[in-house]
Amino acid sequence: MLDNMPRGTICIEDIEMGMSRHLRKVVTDRDIELFAEVSTDHNPVHLDDDYARDTIFEGRIAHGMLTAGLISAVIGEQLPGHGTVYMGQSLKFLGPVRPGDMVEARVEVTGIDHAKRRVQLDCRCTVDGKKVLVGEATVLAPSRKFD
C-alpha cells in the first residue's frame, strides 16, 4: 500500500469476495437527539417517551437512517475505507433499534468489478443477534493506480 493511502483503506486491487468488516455501537439518547437535530426529523416516536409508548413500538426508537449510518461508517472507514464513493444503497428495516441497544453493523463483499472499481456489499445491522436492517450497497473503491 502506498504511503499516502489512509490506514485501514482497502484498495480495489486488494478486495476479495467474502471480505467483511463490522463495528459495534451502543445507540444513545444523545445520538438520537443529535440525529434529529442534523436531519430535522423530530418525529415524536424518536424523542417523546409518552407519545412513543402509545405506538406499535411501545417506546422510543432510533431513526432508521441513524442505524443505516452505521453501515456507511463501516464502508467509509473500513471496507473499502477512506476515498470510497457511494453509488447506491438499498435498505429494508426489519425491527426497531432502541436507546441503549448495541448495534452491530456488518458489510460483506458479494461482487467485484475490478475494471470499473465497483464493489457490491451485503449490509446488515443486528441487535442481540437479530437482524434489524438488511440491504445492499454499490460503491466505487479507491485504487492505488489513481494516487
* pLDDT tens, residue order, the chain (147 aa): 334 445 679 999 999 999 999 999 999 999 999 999 999 999 999 999 999 999 999 999 999 999 999 999 999 999 999 999 999 999 999 999 999 999 999 999 999 999 999 999 999 999 999 999 999 999 999 998 865
Using alpha carbons only, give the angle 92, 56, 70 rounded to the nearest 5 degrees.
Answer: 35
Q: Give the integer Cα–Cα distance in Å for 68 and 90.
A: 10
The domain ranges of the chain are: 12-146
What pTM did the predictor assign? 0.91
Q: Give the integer Cα–Cα distance in Å for 119 and 126.
A: 22
Q: Give the integer Cα–Cα distance in Å for 71 and 106.
A: 7
Residue 11 cell numbers, joined: 484498495
The CATH homologous superfamily to which domain 12-146 belongs is Hotdog Thioesterase (3.10.129.10)
CB neighbours of residue 100 within 10 Å: 9
